[in-house]
Structure 1
Amino acid sequence: MTDWAGLTWPEVAEAVERQPVALLPFGAVEEHGPHLPLGTDVLAADGLAERLANTAGLLRLPTVPYGQVWSLEHFPGSLSVRDETLVALVTDLAGGLSRAGVRGIVLFSAHLGNAAALRKAARTLAETGGLPAIALTYPGLAEVAKEVRESADSHPSIMHADEIETSVLLALAPDHVRMDRAVTEYPVYPQDFDAAPVRWDTVSRSGVFGDATAATPGKGERVVDHVVRTAADLIAGWRKRVGV
């Protein structure tokens, strides 16, 4: 793996020639219950990006630490940016990457709330003749979560400070997990939860959406391994299709 931020400017051309596709990871700063830090998604993005860059032969860019966390921004410490901000950031960076000779960009988010913005950014680049891009957010998560989960999920579309996400952080950044503070909470969701804007602090007191006490490092390793392998397969197919 080559780390873009660790290069000097005379080294860029050779690095890009060896690895012409860049990986841009995204995290977020938001509450993750009483047992995980606000930077959980940044730590996860860093760990996943390192493994994915090595597996898929990508030139790794620094992780973007902020994301769209509208649903959780009323919890103290959460910091949110607009989808439009993320789209503009990606398209601006893609211009500089293209000038440096990069031929494609993988947008990878460890925060599910960034998914819509990163897909829009990839479409915007396609429509404007920018760098070919693919947007990935925990690909393969649903399948592997079913295999490793021992507790019930809180909601089909949510993985937040629960058994799965806590396990991922135990695998990637165990020193940042305080399992002695882990709790279980299953919020009661309004009927229109998936159809209307809902602030998640109105349905959860702890900021945990499931059973965090069931997390283990072994489960996290299985999730991380599956997600990285799934992402690498998707990237290989995409690169072949678009010729990068």
Structure 2
Amino acid sequence: MHSFIPPERFFPYLTWTDIQTIPDKENVVIIQPVGAIEQHGHHLPLVVDSAIGVGVLGKALAQLEPTIPAYALPNLFYGKSNEHWHFPGTITLSAQTLLAVLMEVADSIYRAGFRKLVLMNSHGGQPQIMEIAARDIHQKYGDFLVFPLFTWRVPNVAKELISAKELELGIHAGDAETSLMLSLLPEQVKMERAVAEYPQGLPEDSLLSMEGKLPFAWLTQELSQSGTLGDPTPATKEKGDRILESLVSGWVKVIQDIYRFRQPQGK
């Protein structure tokens, strides 16, 4: 049941008495991975975002110093994926449902005595929900430190391995995600079905973009027939191994930083 997570770091394998007696509980890092079950083109399985999140987290926890207490909660497989709901297989929660789940999980973690919670999101369609949840949880419990983080935002080597066009437009089932899946779950990748498809009809010479500082709302079917936004055909396991290694190193550092973090206090 723990998948990529080291069993000794998997929160559900603890007993209630284990949890009751954990020392320095206010600095124990509890990590809630949040993924999605959604289409990823013709060649990748629905589980991509969840697999990447749990894979990166599990390998980071395996490398973390044993003296740093950190535990992974079970992955939340369902997320807000309604941009993909025209493609069969996508399962989506509403923003309100996902927010309510995160808030109620946080209530339970706080009630157990923990005071540090990471919302580790791996799906590009819901970072805003993580941020809203984190702010509302911290407002509700002033001594509860909550970190709404995106798996891919730690330092990593993707920029060294992926083309400039792909970095800008390959936001879904492209080279980076496909390479990473070839590293994590190669038997689930069907490279013979991979097709390249970049978004069509994007505004030219405009400050507006799909993602970034000035985005517009979009649905995947408006931009892609295959469900892919990018070019997965250059993907390799070797690239995936390097990207994975760099993401894991970044997450080891992030967890260390969170363990040492103290809430800033105004004068």
Give your verdict on TM over 0.5.
Answer: yes
Match of 1:54 among 20, 44, 62: 62
The one-letter amino acid paired with 2:74 is: P
Deviation at 1:232, TM superposition (A): 3.0
Matches within 5 A, 1:1-244: 1-14=8-21, 20-56=28-64, 57=68, 58-129=70-141, 131-140=144-153, 144-150=157-163, 152-153=165-166, 155-156=168-169, 159-191=171-203, 193-194=209-210, 195-242=215-262
- After TM superposition, the runs of 4+ consecutive aligned structure 1 residues lying more than 6 A away are none
Greater CA radius of gyration, 1 or 2? 2
Check 1:46–1:139 CA distance in 2 against 1; reply closer, same or farther (3 A cut). Answer: closer
Match of 2:3 in 1: none
User: Per the alignment, in what secondary structure is the counterpart of residue 33 of structure 1?
Assistant: coil
Q: How many residues align?
A: 242
Check 1:13–1:221 CA distance in 2 against 1; reply closer, same or farther (3 A cut). Answer: farther
Deviation at 1:54, TM superposition (A): 2.9
1:144, 1:154 → 2: CA distance? 12
Deviation at 1:2, TM superposition (A): 1.6
What RMSD, in angstroms, separates the aligned Cα atoms of the two structures? 2.4
CA contact (8 A) 1:52 1:232 kept: yes
Q: Which of the pair is proportionally richer in helix? A: 1
Deviation at 1:91, TM superposition (A): 1.6
Deviating more after overlay: 83-92 vs 134-143: 134-143
Structure 2 unaligned blocks of 5 or more:
1-7
Deviating more after overlay: 184-193 vs 200-209: 184-193
Tell me the TM-score normalised to structure 1 length.
Answer: 0.88
Check 1:234–1:89 CA distance in 2 against 1; reply closer, same or farther (3 A cut). Answer: same
The one-letter amino acid paired with 2:12 is: A
Deviation at 1:16, TM superposition (A): 6.8
CA contact (8 A) 1:38 1:77 kept: yes
Deviation at 1:150, TM superposition (A): 4.5
Structure 1 unaligned blocks of 5 or more:
none
Percent of pairs with identical residues:
31
2:134, 2:23 → 1: CA distance? 20
2:247, 2:156 → 1: CA distance? 10
Check 1:155–1:73 CA distance in 2 against 1; reply closer, same or farther (3 A cut). Answer: farther
The one-letter amino acid paired with 1:132 is: L
The one-letter amino acid paired with 1:217 is: K
1:215, 1:14 → 2: CA distance? 47
The one-letter amino acid paired with 2:80 is: Q
